[in-house]
Amino acid sequence: MKKVIGLLVSAFLVVGLMSTSAFADAAKGQKYYLKYMKDGSGMNGAKFATQHTQAEWKALFDGKAEKFVAEYSKKYPGLDAFLKGDKFEKFMPDIRDFCIEFASDSGNVPSC
């Protein structure tokens, strides 16, 4: 019985550790966009998110979002400090979900 309980606890821990990026939240990403990126990009969230399709956003955010950081640091120098800082690394999964949720081919429109 102890082995079964131990196995279940281990399984929950493994699933919990693996699912941190799966619980990224587009609403939080929208909030982070408004707080940290809107002024630097000079556009609202709706206009920003529709710059790419869902597949394009996924490709930009692959890995540690190196392609996204390179493209948007170059396009919008005002975002450079945020994109290369610790906060972006922490908020990146949520910002990624925000961009994918409201991409040009998603049919969704954010309220920001």
Distances (CA, A) of 77 to 36, 74, 82, 90: 13, 6, 10, 20
**Cβ neighbour number for residue 70 with a 10 Å cutoff:** 12
- Write the pLDDT tens digit of every residue in 22-38: 578 999 999 999 999 99
**For residue 53, how many C-alpha atoms fall within 13 Å in the half-sphere facing its CB?**
3
Residue-wise pLDDT for 36-46, tens only, equals 999 999 999 99
Give the pLDDT of residue 112. Answer: 64
Query: What CA–CA distances, in Å, run from 49 to 13, 14, 30, 55, 86?
Result: 34, 33, 10, 12, 22
Q: Which of 108, 17, 29 is nearest to 61 (CA)?
A: 29
Output the pLDDT for position 4: 65
